[in-house]
Amino acid sequence: MRISIVTPSFRSAQWLPLCIASVADQAGVVIEHIIQDSCSDDGTQEILAREKRVRAFVEKDQGMYDAVNRGLARAEGEVLAYLNCDEQFLPGALKAVADYFQAHPEIDAVVSDTIVTDAAGEYLCHRCALVPGKYQMWVRFPVLTCALFLRRRVFQEMGIHCDTTWRALGDWVWVMEMLRRGVKFGLLPEMTSIFTDTGDNLCLRPTGVQERARKWAMAPAWVRLMKHLFVLQYRLQLAARGAMNRKPFDYSLYTLQSPGQRVNRRALHPTSFWERRQQTA
């Protein structure tokens, strides 16, 4: 099974080599890594010119979600995903994803778990994924897109593309459209991905805060009234998944100090509480 990974890129030369390395060292699966760069002027094009492990396309786009759409349209794999420059895959992640899809031919999209680190690669929290629900999604988005994988037919046959009118919450709109169109989700209860809280992530910028307010204003009135019940449901589902009581665990990633080799880190006090995400919610 071939997996295509798309990475939208714009002035992320600092992080891009780590992302590329984390895809390139995945074992047991055939991988296509597409970099969709919006004419970056920070050294990214020089990196891509000498990088043989990716298919690079340098062209102006209309933002991150337009870049994702362009890359996914070029993808040739049976399974598709997109991974931002400041995100990584954990060792063995894509083999686990391929095995899941092969064992569950009825599933269209798979969600999995994510480790959130700071810019130095130190553990901040973990995010246990849940199969998204159409109404609960208004209150809690239970997956990070670095841990979301879909069959090619969802994008290329069903035509479920990213909505480029959104700048930061296009992920949420994309998944909501999948639910509306009847995409069947499955849950892979494994850590597959790393999200780096760099302090400048698009979803955590003021634009993201503004779009969350816009999204909430669009929610059905009865959902807004029952917000606290949906939050309680979400927390109970996380508790059932064991998100609240994980034991210390090790993980391996590339860092700015070690861009050519994975280093091991340990989550001594695992928590599902992401402090900065809560501050911007």
What average pLDDT does the segment 146-157 reach?
Answer: 97
Confidence of residue 250 (pLDDT cuts 50, 70, 90): very high
Count structural domains, the chain. Answer: 1
- 40: closest CA among 11, 69, 74, 71? 11
Please give the single-letter amino acid code of residue 105. Answer: P
Question: What is the average per-residue pLDDT within 200-206?
Answer: 76
Distances (CA, A) of 137 to 58, 181, 188, 190, 224: 34, 15, 19, 21, 12
* Chain centroid offset of residue 126 CA: 13
Q: Is the pLDDT reported for residue 16 higher than 70?
A: yes
pLDDT band at 277 (very low <50, low <70, confident <90, very high): low
Compute φ and ψ for 53, nearest 5 degrees.
-95, 5
Q: How far apart are CA 17 and CA 11, in angstroms?
A: 12
What tens digit of pLDDT does each residue of 205-242 get? 778 889 999 999 999 999 999 999 999 999 999 999 99
E-assigned strands of 122-257?
A: 123-127, 148-151, 185-197, 249-255
The yes-or-no verdict on residue 278 having pLDDT over 70 is no
Q: How confident is the model at residue 255 (pLDDT cuts 50, 70, 90)?
A: very high
DSSP 20-73: HHHHHT--SSEEEEEEEE----SSHHHHHHH--SSEEEE---SSHHHHHHHHHH
| Residue 107 belongs to domain with CATH number | 3.90.550.10
**Residues of the chain with pLDDT > 90: what percent?**
90
Tokens read off for 75: 């993808």
Q: Which domain holds residue 62?
A: 2-280
Q: What is the pTM of this model?
A: 0.95
Average pLDDT, the chain: 95
Question: For residue 160, how many other CB atoms are within 10 A of its CB?
Answer: 19
Check pLDDT > 60 for residue 280: no
* Whether the predicted pLDDT of 281 surpasses 80: no
- Place 37 in a pLDDT band, splitting at 50, 70 and 90: very high
Q: Which residue has the higher pLDDT, 86 or 279?
A: 86
Cβ contact 191:251 at 8 Å: yes
**Residue 15 pLDDT grade (very low, low, confident, very high; cuts 50, 70, 90):** very high
pLDDT at position 205 = 77
